[in-house]
């Protein structure tokens, strides 16, 4: 199953929600759902509208205030495109796994910093950013400085 640019916008919204409330009760579950979608084989030229939302909606008693966008299906009449670039799936999956590790360890400060650093990345992929590495370098600068790492290298593996 391939995702559309709108699914990537939904991943952006999830990251913003986690950045806003890193201790949210459903953060671990919603990240696991998205990782499962990103890690699934993208071997068919098929997309399903609102795929991320539908998968997230399956989480029992999902916080409908923090993740309220999940409960509304969008009708896409313009500008929908399929994201086929496997690097984007890998990069986002690795980033979410890193956030998941932080949340599991109850390191909410680092999880928040990671969500802050990563939140625009799905939009960059969805919109086909031409200078991805340069843009991400700017996005990750503060995180890299604080945590003494190169997040671009880490997530590209």
Q: What would the mean pLDDT of 96-119 be, rounded to a whole number?
A: 98
Residue 47 confidence class, pLDDT cut points 50, 70, 90: confident
Per-residue confidence (pLDDT) for residue 146, from 0 to 100? 97
Buried-state track 77-101, b at ≥16 Cβ within 10 A, e below 16: eeeeeebeeeebbebbbbbbbbbbe
In this predicted structure, what is the pLDDT of residue 39?
96
């Amino acid at each position: 199953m391939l995702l559309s640019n709108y699914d990537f916008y939904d991943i952006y919204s999830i990251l913003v929600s986690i950045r806003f409330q890193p201790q949210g009760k459903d953060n671990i579950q919603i990240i696991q759902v998205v990782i499962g979608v990103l890690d699934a084989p993208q071997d068919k030229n098929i997309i399903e509208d609102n795929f991320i939302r539908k998968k997230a909606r399956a989480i029992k008693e999902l916080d409908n205030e923090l993740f309220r966008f999940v409960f509304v299906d969008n009708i896409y009449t313009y500008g929908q495109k399929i994201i086929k670039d496997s690097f984007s799936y890998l990069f986002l999956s690795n980033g979410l796994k890193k956030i998941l590790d932080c949340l599991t360890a109850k390191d909410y400060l680092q999880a928040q910093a990671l969500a802050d650093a990563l939140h625009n990345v799905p939009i960059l992929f969805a919109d086909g950013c031409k200078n991805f590495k340069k843009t991400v370098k700017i996005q990750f600068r503060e995180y890299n400085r604080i945590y003494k790492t190169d997040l671009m290298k880490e997530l590209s593996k």
